[in-house]
Structure 1
Amino acid sequence: MTAPIETTGAAEAQPEAVLSGADKGQIEGRSLGQIAWTRFKKDRVAVAGGIVVILLVLLALLARPIQALFGLDPNAFNQDLIDPNTSLPTGSWGGMSADHPLGVEPKFGRDIATRILEGSWVSLVVAFGATILSNTIGTVLGVIAGYYGGRVDAIISRLMDTFLAFPLLLFAIAISATLQGGAFGLEGLPLHITVLIFIIGFFNWPYLGRIVRGQTLALREREFVDASRGMGAKGPYILFRELLPNLVGPIIVYSTLLIPTNILFEASLSFLGVGIQPPQASWGGMLNQAVDFYEVDPQFMIVPGLAIFVTVLAFNLLGDGLRDALDPRSR
């Protein structure tokens, strides 16, 4: 007979041995935000897009201080740089020089770089303002429709369908053209910016509203909502303290994708002549002025076109990265 195998001894971990290294390092948990940030940092394309977005926002915020610091005037005419016979900039590449690194406009000779800088804050103010307005309306109505359901959901859903049926571009052209002179005690640039923010933001809220409604329909059946009801929480408390914090991720992702859409919409209205009015610089307005010169001076059209392209691309890359970081199952 063989000797029995002993199961006690070194193979059995002693409590003292297990606890001996417990004080050498603590295992710390990570929040959902930290986990999302770790995922986001691994996406180099999204990080690059985020860096470009930060730089664009800083340029927009510092546009007026930079102009004041260096004595730049986006509406200053430089007729000495324009050929009187052709109305084109003298020199090559649209009049590019050390003083005018991106050249000057045909006919007027205004510095393109300064006007691009001036137009950046206009585009971003309209885009961010319209996004905040549409997100506020869409989030509130979407979470109410999804949580209460029934008749409330039916009314809000039909309201969403009504707004989605509007021919937004034609409606925006009609309103902008009507309010060009003055309204609501405003005139000039403040009026144009306010009208654009209202038109773009007020009529775009159903897109986010549908997303929030769908997410709320799923969240309202979760255990934490039932627990809140069981503890006596009322509807408003559940909406804004339980459901809304869990909708922050989708709202942030959609916002980063909506901002470039709003930038393009503002540029389209300015290009059609019913948005930001000259002499105020805007990227869409610069493209409108470049239509008559794109064959003989393509520089004038390429620069504002690239400004719009880079801005929209950066926001889209950032939005895709945030979506993957906040919801890895969407990959």
Structure 2
Amino acid sequence: MTAPIETTGSAAGAQPEAVLAGAKRSQIEGRSLYQIAWLRFRRDRVAVAGGIVVILLVLLAALAKPIESVFGLDPNAFHQDLVDPSLLAPKGSWGGMSWEHPLGVDPQYGRDILARIIEGSWVSLLVATGATVLSVVLGTVLGVVAGFYGGWVDSVISRMMDTFLAFPLLLFAISISASLQDGAFGFSGLPLRIGVLIFVIGFFNWPYMGRIVRAQTLSLREREFVEAARSLGARGPFILFRELLPNLVAPILVYSTLLIPTNILFEAALSFLGVGIAPPQASWGGMLTSATGLYQADPQYMIVPGLAIFVTVLAFNLLGDGLRDALDPRSK
């Protein structure tokens, strides 16, 4: 008969508390879902690059006025001496590029393109962000109510979504924007146009967010934690705001980042058609409008704002794809 193995004083015979006492906190500390999502996101270099570009664009838009004042940039200053009136093209090569005008000047009035790109950044991002916030708020509230309560509430809200989706949005936006150009609700000029664009784009795009939130809510309302909350006596509003909405943050955040570039393109399209931001206020879509008849003489005037829109939309799409992969619990 073999003797029993002596384990006194060894790691095998130690109590769990003693073993954990010798371990570092970083070795035993758990990670939350947001920490895991952040680690996943950091591994996606393309999404990180998109996020960096988005941050730089937001800083550029927020600091557009200080940047213009510090560097002496005036987006509406005319430099007729830099334009050849017979050819309607900037003097010199590469669109009139120089140390004073790094991106050249426009072929009509000689206005600095860099200054107008910086000035147009805050207009595009303000309209797109405001419209996205309006769409997200309306879509989230109505979508979660429709998905949670069901029945006639779901039927009414769902038919409302179908009605909004049936509208020819572009034609409707053109008609509203054109009819409110002179003044309305005590506002006029640029504040009115920005407010109208935010309302038109955001108010008529909320059903897209509403459908996503409704579908997610229909799945979540049958989960165990919702049943547990009901068994403890929780009422509808408590379950909506304390149980369902925190679990809807991930899809809402991901879709919001994908909705912003769509709204940027929508604002550019309305400005391109002449019912968005009115000149002389700089906007990326307005710059493309004025470049349509001049692209043969100076293609750079169309390429620069087109690249600005392209880079912005691409950066937001890459960021949205990265957030979707990082916040998806089924991703590897």
Verify same fold: TM over 0.5.
yes
Contact 2:193 2:276 in 1 (8 A): yes
> Could you say what secondary structure the match of 1:217 adopts?
helix
> Could you say what secondary structure the match of 1:191 adopts?
helix
For structure 1, list consecutive stretches of 5 or more residues without a partner in the other structure: none
The correspondence of residues 68-83 of structure 1 with structure 2, limited to 5 A, is 68-83=69-84
Deviation at 1:326, TM superposition (A): 0.1
Opposite residue 99 of structure 1, the aligned amino acid is: E
Deviation at 1:19, TM superposition (A): 5.6
With structure 1 as the length reference, what TM-score do the two structures score? Answer: 0.95
Contact 2:88 2:297 in 1 (8 A): no
Of stretches 104-113 and 232-241 in structure 1, the one that deviates more from structure 2 is 232-241
Q: How far apart, CA to CA, are the structure 2 residues paired with 1:330 and 1:260?
A: 25
Opposite residue 13 of structure 2, the aligned amino acid is: P
The correspondence of residues 162-311 of structure 1 with structure 2, limited to 5 A, is 162-311=163-312
2:45: which partner in 1? Answer: 44
The correspondence of residues 73-222 of structure 1 with structure 2, limited to 5 A, is 73-222=74-223
Q: How far apart, CA to CA, are the structure 1 residues paired with 2:191 and 2:57?
A: 22
Q: How far apart, CA to CA, are the structure 2 residues paired with 1:56 and 1:44?
A: 18
Contact 1:323 1:330 in 2 (8 A): no
Deviation at 1:9, TM superposition (A): 1.5
Q: How far apart, CA to CA, are the structure 2 residues paired with 1:213 and 1:8?
A: 64
With structure 2 as the length reference, what TM-score do the two structures score? Answer: 0.95
Of stretches 273-282 and 69-78 in structure 1, the one that deviates more from structure 2 is 69-78
Contact 2:11 2:19 in 1 (8 A): no
For structure 2, list consecutive stretches of 5 or more residues without a partner in the other structure: none
Q: How far apart, CA to CA, are the structure 2 residues paired with 1:285 and 1:101?
A: 20
- Correspondence 1:15 to 2:13: yes
1:64: which partner in 2? Answer: 65
1:54: which partner in 2? Answer: 55
Q: How far apart, CA to CA, are the structure 2 residues paired with 1:44 and 1:167?
A: 39
Residue deviations 1:241-265 (CA, integer Å, cap 9, x gap): 1110110000000000000000000
Contact 2:128 2:198 in 1 (8 A): yes
> Could you say what secondary structure the match of 2:215 adopts?
helix
Number of matched residues?
Answer: 327
Contact 1:123 1:263 in 2 (8 A): yes
Contact 2:95 2:298 in 1 (8 A): yes
Q: How far apart, CA to CA, are the structure 1 residues paired with 2:123 and 2:206?
A: 21
Opposite residue 286 of structure 2, the aligned amino acid is: G
Residue deviations 1:8-27 (CA, integer Å, cap 9, x gap): 42699742276654222230
Opposite residue 29 of structure 2, the aligned amino acid is: E
2:314: which partner in 1? Answer: 313
Deviation at 1:231, TM superposition (A): 1.8
Deviation at 1:300, TM superposition (A): 0.2
Q: Sequence identity of aligned pairs in percent?
A: 73
Deviation at 1:303, TM superposition (A): 0.1
